[in-house]
Amino acid sequence: MKPARFAYTAPDTTEGTLDALDRFGDEAKVLSGGQSLVPMMNFRLARPEVIVDIGRVGGLDGMSAANGTLTLGARVIHARLEAPAVTTPDGRSEPLGGVLGSLLPAVARFVGHLPIRVRGTFGGSIAHADPAAEWCILARTLDAEMVALRRGGERAIAAADFFETVFTTALAPEELLAAVRLPILGDDWRTGFCEFSRRAGDFAVVAAMTAVRLVPATGAIAEARIGVGGVAGVPVRLGGAEATLLGEVPSADLHAAAAAVAAGEVDPVGDLHGSAAYRRDLVRAMVARALAQGAGSLR
């Protein structure tokens, strides 16, 4: 469990980072906290020739809200999302309120353990693309946009296109994930997040996030998002279950019906922590609970 030989560079600037990525291409791997990458290197499951450590790069750890979008710098550590605060245009820091202000801490507490949360980063988790990772599920469920920089260019990648398969994303070797943009959900949204893991802090066996927008006058569901992790190579959206909810008023029966559809929609692969059938069973439970949580009938 000693890593294979690698070269290490720690640029001070974004430009320096992009130069390094441009130069080393797919021989390079970006280190942003290293809470997954370093163990994988120690097991020699990952053998990058060059580590580009972005820990010294300034300007990648900001959080700001503008024009209906919350922008999270790639180097924001998990722990900061337990009590998220944004920087205002005049440079002040203020707590993030609203629906995301409640949702992010509720999710953050499931991310690993405290030592992991104070070193590991939001962007690192997204770029690592573990299909059961909380932030990947959140990004997929809320249709986040990933901001990818390369020398002389920038592009935004939709979550639906970003996650390709296990540990594999649409990022090109010369691209750096610099930030993630999340839509700021209005107060008419109701969100829930439930996760089942074997122990506190483990990756989820199955986790589900739900977000529904209610029509204020009627209380009916106008928009619905259901994302689950732990059932495929990427976090998935469950369109069938989402459709079940549209136009309906939240109720225990409705949630059960949507959860049943959700369980039928997934096609999980089993491993030693849960067979395919068990994971499907868990999808039903987690989706139902997340919906109930959003409706306020479950903590």
Partner 1 sequence: MGDPDGGRARSLIGESVLRLEDRPLLVGEGRFLADVSFPDELHLRVVRSDTAHGLLRGVDLGEVREAEGVVAAWSAEEVAHLGAIEFRMTGFDELRPHCQRVLAAERVRYVGDPVAVVIAEDAYLAEDAAELAFVDVEPLEPVLEAWSPEAIAPLTLEHEHGDVEAAFAGAHRVVELEAAVGRHSGIPLETRGLLARPVDGDGQQGNRVELYGIAKVPHYNCATIAAMLDLAPGQVVGREGHVGGGFGIRGELYPEDLLVTYAALKLGRPVKWVEDRREHLLAANHSRDQSYRVRAAVDGAGVVQALDAEFFCDQGGYVRTHGATVPNLSVALLPGPYLVPAYRVRGHIRLTNKTPAGTYRAPGRFESTFVRERLMDAVATACGLDPAEVRRRNLIPPEAMPFDRGVSTLSTPVVYDSGDYARLLERLLDHIGYGSLRESLAERRAAGEMVGLGIGMFVEKSGLGPFDDVRVRRTEGGGVEVVTGAASVGQGMETVIAQICAEVLGVDYGDVTVRHGQTDMIGRGMGAFASRVTVMTGVAVYLAATELAATGRPADATFNADHMTYPYGAHAAVVSVDADTGGVTVERYVVAYDVGRAVNPMLCEGQIIGGVAQGVGGALLELFSYDADGQPLATSFMDYLMPTAAEQPQVEVLLSEDAPSPLNPLGLKGAGEGGTNACGAAIAAAIDDAIGRPGAVTALPATPESVRSLIRGAVTRRLPRPPEVKQADRADLRTHLSICPRAPL
Using CB under 8 A as the criterion, which residues of the chain lie in contact with partner 1 when the complex forms? Answer: 1-5, 39, 43-44, 196, 198-203, 205, 271-275, 278, 281-282, 284-285, 288-289
Q: Closest CB to partner 1 among 23 and 109? A: 109
Query: Beta partners for 69?
Result: 66, 183
Nearer to partner 1, 237 or 284 (CB): 284
CB–CB of 64/87 below 8 Å?
Answer: yes
Identify which of residues 52 and 207 has a Cβ nearer to partner 1 in the complex.
207
Per-residue tokens: 199: 């122990």
Q: Cα dist. 115→61, 78, 123, 219 in Å?
A: 18, 10, 17, 42
H helix or E strand, kind and range, residue 116: helix 114-117
CB of 190 to partner 1, least distance (A): 21
Q: How far is the CB of 148 from partner 1 (least distance, A)?
A: 29
Q: Least Å distance between CB 203 and partner 1? A: 7
Q: How far is the CB of 31 from partner 1 (least distance, A)?
A: 18
Q: How far is the CB of 279 from partner 1 (least distance, A)?
A: 9
CB nearer partner 1, residue 4 or residue 215? 4
Q: Smaller CB distance to partner 1: residue 1 or 217?
A: 1
Task: Report d(CA 213, CA 189) in Å as an integer.
Answer: 4
Q: Which is nearer to partner 1, 40 or 118 (CB)?
A: 40
Q: What's the farthest any 2 CA atoms get from each other in the chain? A: 63
- The nearest distance, CB 282 to partner 1, in angstroms, is 6
- Residue holding tokens 């469990």? 1
In terms of CB distance, is 73 or 120 closer to partner 1?
A: 120
Could you tell me which residues come within 8 angstroms of residue 289 by beta carbon, excluding any fewer than 6 positions away? 192, 194, 208, 298
Residues in the chain, total: 299
Closest to 51 (Cα-Cα) out of 110, 106, 112, 124: 124
Give CA–CA dist 128/36, Å, rounded: 8
Q: Which two tokens stand for residue 193?
A: 């997040």
Q: What is the closest distance, in whole angstroms, from the C-beta atom of residue 278 to partner 1 in the complex? A: 4
